[in-house]
């Protein structure tokens, strides 16, 4: 698949600042260097300083699980970095439990009962 810089630019211009900060920090290890340049340019255009970016990365590192490829584990329900994990059941048609699986949750999707991973 060809790396489409124009598509990246379009996507980056409509992304939220939080999303861009996550891509530049928590997901940095998995980003194309060219895409990273576009993201950092956009953050700069929006007035985000390198200090603010570093602070976002520092806060994320305290709460996320890092995968073996160096990127953050994603929420099972959106693109945000996961801050908690919990076992659940994969359900056929949303009803019949088939097999247990691990769900990951960002701060927004975290159920009240889920405890952050003790690390
Ligand atoms: Zn989420």
Along the 119 residues of the chain, how does pLDDT read in single tens digits?
Answer: 456 889 999 999 999 999 999 999 999 998 999 999 999 999 999 999 999 999 999 999 998 888 889 899 999 999 999 999 988 777 777 777 777 788 899 999 998 754 555 55
Residues with Cβ–ion distance below 5 A, ligand 1? 75, 77-78, 80, 106, 109
Helix (H) or strand (E) holding 57: helix 50-63
Q: Are 63 and 36 in contact (CB under 8 A)?
A: no
**What spacing in Å lies between the alpha carbon of 102 and ligand 1's midpoint?**
14
Q: Cα angle vertex 78, ends 77, 81, to 5°? A: 110
How far does the centroid of ligand 1 lie from the alpha carbon of residue 81, in Å? Answer: 7
As given in the structure block, the two tokens for residue 84 are 């908690």
CA 96 to chain centre: 30
């Amino acid at each position: 698949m060809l790396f489409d810089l124009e598509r990246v630019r379009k996507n980056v211009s409509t992304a939220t600042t939080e999303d861009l900060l996550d891509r530049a920090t928590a997901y940095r290890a998995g980003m194309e260097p060219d895409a990273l340049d576009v993201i950092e340019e956009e953050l700069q255009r929006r007035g985000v300083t390198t200090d603010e970016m570093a602070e976002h990365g520092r806060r994320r590192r305290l709460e996320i699980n890092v995968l073996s490829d160096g990127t953050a584990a994603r929420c099972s329900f959106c693109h945000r970095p996961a801050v908690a994990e919990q076992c659940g059941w994969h359900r056929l048609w949303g009803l019949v439990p088939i097999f247990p699986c691990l769900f990951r949750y960002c701060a927004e999707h975290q159920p009240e009962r889920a405890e952050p991973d003790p690390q």
